[in-house]
């Protein structure tokens, strides 16, 4: 046995003795409680015997009073006494259930009781029938007295038995009480001895703890030094990873923008050279430059979507109608070699989300599914209601427990291994060949869904296909009607009745472009380079139908300008524009209610439609 265990042996023995003493005290206390219970049991039996005698005496008193006076009032104690006898006998049997000898006496007592009650009833019945002499004769005959004497005799015998039991049980209780006191005294002595042993052992352990503390202090300082070195190394690794991610992102942006700028600059240069000698070719080059610029704008929009900075216009929409309305577009985009199936849930909740951005997200996911099925396959779009509980939310970042509308897009393509799923939402990450994808599609969908307060999840296995689930927040209310923006080409709307637009833009070239575009649409245009100049124009211009203002400007921003202008002209319509905004009209990624907005860059067609909508009272961002 080691020295450490030898030092603990006295404490172990002391605790064992204390435990035995305590258990013994508990056992004795239990025995004492049982003895007290037996005493209470005896007292209960005696109480019931006394109650039986008392009730018979009350019954006899009532009988005599009635026989002597003939008054019914004397029968009330008689009837009450006999009515309570049954309960007393039941309580008595329950109290002596564990004593066969007393049970036998109780049986005899019950029989005698029944005989005595019969005699009492017989005398009263005769008296009621008018036979007073017959009733007195029964009393004088003496059978009632004999029954009563017999009843008292049985009660006395049972009482003597209970007295003997009471004496024996009281003596046992006294003995056990003395034993309990001795056990408590022994426990006290054991506790004192154990405390002395514990103090002695604690002093020894204190010395050992001081020595261990000093050794631990030295080890702790060494560990802190190692932790500091590791933290520094981890920080350097994280910085390297962050710079690598930024490098990958900027490299991808630079690559794609250089390609698009090459198209724009080269096409415009060629158009300039061919403008006089070959106008048709010059127009083709200009069209090519416009296409490159639009692709650059789309890339910027995708980057804003990934960074969750795009201004969203969420509404309560019917996802079933949106998916059904996209069927023809999807068939044209995906191709005939892929079968498209839609499984639309009945009773689907409205989803609160930007319908246009959701269509783009669905189209992106379906294009990815098409690329994963080069030899054909099946694409399934399924809607459903679901609930994400607290446990699921705790296991996934940026997920709030609650009710969602889920849109599942499933393909039978090549699938993805786990390491690809982990990086699927990274910008510019793609497994497609060079020139076959930018790597921004899934990252754009991810940013849009997260900015909308939703959740996205990928389930996939190699060669088993892929399912992407879009969880969209449920809207509690009715869904709004979706207008079909793909319903063919419509005529560009133009100005009516000499409508006047005030254009406010601090960037001169952009302002001139906007002014020229609006004038080409038939609007009368006045312009200002900042907010103060715009207020001055409003002060002298009697009619202005629309304020078309940039948001980010030096001094007074567009929102402040609009608020001030509406104090002067409450019916003034306002349309905002900007290339990027965080707080002026967009909060938490959502346009403020009642705000009309068009993002830069925009084409003349887009500007014409938006301006017409605002002037006609249809272009604000009111929620359904």
Written as one string, the DSSP assignment of 350-378 is: PEEE-HHHHHHHHHHHHHHHHHT-TT-EE
pLDDT tens string 190-200: 777 777 777 87
pLDDT class for 500, splitting at 50, 70, 90? very high
Name the residue with higher pLDDT: 63 or 486: 63
pLDDT tens string 428-456: 666 665 555 555 667 778 888 888 888 99
Question: Using the 8-state DSSP alphabet, how is residue 478 labeled?
Answer: P
Residue 589 confidence (pLDDT) above 80: no
Kindly report the number of other CB atoms within 10 A of residue 32's CB atom. 19
Residue 6 confidence (pLDDT) above 60: no
pLDDT given at position 305: 43
Q: Which residue do the tokens 């906007």 mark?
A: 514
Determine contact, residues 384/408, Cβ cutoff 8 Å. yes
pLDDT tens string 516-545: 999 999 999 999 999 999 999 999 998 999
Contacts of residue 379, Cβ cutoff 8 Å, sequence gap at least 6: 330, 334, 338, 339, 340, 341, 366, 369, 370, 373, 409, 410, 411
Section 302-328 average pLDDT: 72
pLDDT given at position 526: 95
Section 296-309 average pLDDT: 52
pLDDT class for 159, splitting at 50, 70, 90? confident
Residue 483 confidence (pLDDT) above 90: no
Determine contact, residues 502/531, Cβ cutoff 8 Å. no
d(CA 127, CA 137): 11
φ, ψ of residue 375 to 5 degrees: the values are: -100, 15
Query: Dihedral angle at the C-alpha atoms of 427, 433, 436, 437, nearest 10 degrees?
Result: -10
Residue 151 confidence (pLDDT) above 90: no
pLDDT given at position 488: 44
Share of the chain above pLDDT 70, in %: 77
What burial class does residue 454 get, using C-beta atoms within 10 Å of its C-beta: 0-12 exposed, 13-18 middle, 19+ buried? buried
pLDDT class for 306, splitting at 50, 70, 90? very low
pLDDT given at position 104: 85
Residue 16 confidence (pLDDT) above 70: yes
pLDDT given at position 308: 42
pLDDT class for 185, splitting at 50, 70, 90? confident
Name the residue with higher pLDDT: 515 or 53: 515
Section 584-599 average pLDDT: 63
Section 236-250 average pLDDT: 61
Residue 355 confidence (pLDDT) above 60: yes
Determine contact, residues 405/351, Cβ cutoff 8 Å. yes
d(CA 414, CA 373): 7
Name the residue with higher pLDDT: 256 or 420: 420
Residue 486 confidence (pLDDT) above 50: no
Residue 487 confidence (pLDDT) above 60: no
Residue 189 confidence (pLDDT) above 50: yes
Q: How many CA atoms lie within 13 A of 379 on its CB side?
A: 29
Determine contact, residues 622/593, Cβ cutoff 8 Å. yes
**Integer CA distances (angstroms), 179 to 17, 176, 184, 185, 261, in order:** 17, 5, 9, 10, 103
Contacts of residue 80, Cβ cutoff 8 Å, sequence gap at least 6: 58
d(CA 278, CA 261): 23
Name the residue with higher pLDDT: 333 or 508: 508
pLDDT given at position 52: 85
Tokens of 419: 């390491």
Tokens of 447: 């940013």
Determine contact, residues 59/84, Cβ cutoff 8 Å. no
d(CA 380, CA 37): 77
Question: Using the 8-state DSSP alphabet, how is residue 74 labeled?
Answer: G
Average pLDDT over the chain reads 79
Name the residue with higher pLDDT: 201 or 463: 463
pLDDT given at position 307: 47
Beta strands in 200-314 (DSSP E): none
Share of the chain above pLDDT 90, in %: 16
d(CA 560, CA 567): 11
pLDDT tens string 85-120: 888 888 888 878 888 888 888 888 888 888 888 888
φ, ψ of residue 212 to 5 degrees: the values are: -65, -35
pLDDT given at position 99: 84
Section 333-350 average pLDDT: 88
pLDDT class for 403, splitting at 50, 70, 90? very high
Question: Using the 8-state DSSP alphabet, how is residue 491 labeled?
Answer: P
Highest mean pLDDT out of 32-46, 111-125, 230-244: 111-125
d(CA 466, CA 412): 7
Section 123-127 average pLDDT: 85
Residue 35 confidence (pLDDT) above 80: no
Written as one string, the DSSP assignment of 192-214 is: HHHHHHHHHHHHHHHHHHHHHHH
Residue 330 confidence (pLDDT) above 80: yes
**Integer CA distances (angstroms), 228 to 216, 231, 239, 279, in order:** 18, 5, 16, 70
pLDDT given at position 485: 44
Cis peptide before 601 (omega within 30 of 0): yes
């Amino acid at each position: 046995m080691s020295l450490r265990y030898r030092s603990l042996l006295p404490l172990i023995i002391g605790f064992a003795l204390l435990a035995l003493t305590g258990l013994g005290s508990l056992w004795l206390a239990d025995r004492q409680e049982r003895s007290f219970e037996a005493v209470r049991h005896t007292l209960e039996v005696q109480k019931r015997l006394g109650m039986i005698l008392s009730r018979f005496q009350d019954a006899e008193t009532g009988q005599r009073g009635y026989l002597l006076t003939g008054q019914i009032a004397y029968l009330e104690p008689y009837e009450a006494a006999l009515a309570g006898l049954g309960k007393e006998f039941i309580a008595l049997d329950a109290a002596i259930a564990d004593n066969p000898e007393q049970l036998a006496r109780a049986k005899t007592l019950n029989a005698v009781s029944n005989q005595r009650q019969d005699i009492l009833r017989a005398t009263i019945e005769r008296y009621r029938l008018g036979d007073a002499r017959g009733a007195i004769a029964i009393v004088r005959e003496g059978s009632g007295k004999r029954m009563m004497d017999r009843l008292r005799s049985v009660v006395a015998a049972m009482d003597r038995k209970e007295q003997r039991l009471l004496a024996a049980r009281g003596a046992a209780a006294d003995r056990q009480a003395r034993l309990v006191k001795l056990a408590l005294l022994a426990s006290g002595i054991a506790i004192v001895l154990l405390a002395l042993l514990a103090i002695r052992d604690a002093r020894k352990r204190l010395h050992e703890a001081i020595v261990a503390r000093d050794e631990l202090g030295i080890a702790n300082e060494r560990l802190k030094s190692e932790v500091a070195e590791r933290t520094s190394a981890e920080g350097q690794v994280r910085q390297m990873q962050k710079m690598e991610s930024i490098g990958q992102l900027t490299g991808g942006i630079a690559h794609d923008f250089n390609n698009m700028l090459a198209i724009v600059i080269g096409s415009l240069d060629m158009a300039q050279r061919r403008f006089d000698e070959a106008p048709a070719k010059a127009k083709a080059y200009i069209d090519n430059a416009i296409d490159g610029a639009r692709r650059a704008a789309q890339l910027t929009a995708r980057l804003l979507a990934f960074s969750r900075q795009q201004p969203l216009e969420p509404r309560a929409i019917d996802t079933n109608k949106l998916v059904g309305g996209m069927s023809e577009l999807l068939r044209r985009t995906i191709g005939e070699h892929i079968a498209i199936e839609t499984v639309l849930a009945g009773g689907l909740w409205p989803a609160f989300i930007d319908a246009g951005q959701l269509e783009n997200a669905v189209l992106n996911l379906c294009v990815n599914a098409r690329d994963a099925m080069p030899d054909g396959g099946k694409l399934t779009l399924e809607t459903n209601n679901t609930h994400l509980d607290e446990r699921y939310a705790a296991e996934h970042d940026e997920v709030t427990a609650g009710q969602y509308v889920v849109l599942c897009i499933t393909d039978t393509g090549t699938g993805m291994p786990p390491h690809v799923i982990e990086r699927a939402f990274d910008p510019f990450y793609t497994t497609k060949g060079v020139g076959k994808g930018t790597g921004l599609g899934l990252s754009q969908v991810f940013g849009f869904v997260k900015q909308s307060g939703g959740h996205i999840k990928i389930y996939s296995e190699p060669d088993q296909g892929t399912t992407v689930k879009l969880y969209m927040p449920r809207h509690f209310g009715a869904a709004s009607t979706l207008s079909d923006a793909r319903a063919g080409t419509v005529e560009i709307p133009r100005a009516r009745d000499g409508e006047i637009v005030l254009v406010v833009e601090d960037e001169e070239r952009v302002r001139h472009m906007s002014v020229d575009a609006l004038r080409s649409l038939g609007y009368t245009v006045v312009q200002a380079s900042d907010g103060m100049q715009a207020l001055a124009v409003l002060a002298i211009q009697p009619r202005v139908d629309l304020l078309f203002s940039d948001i980010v400007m030096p001094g007074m921003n567009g929102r402040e300008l609009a608020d001030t202008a509406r104090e002067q002209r409450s019916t003034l319509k306002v349309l905002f524009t900007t290339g990027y905004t965080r707080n002026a009209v967009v909060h938490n990624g959502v346009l403020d209610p009642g705000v009309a907005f068009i993002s830069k860059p925009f084409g003349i067609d887009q500007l014409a439609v938006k301006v017409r909508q605002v002037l006609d009272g249809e272009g604000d961002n009111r929620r359904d």
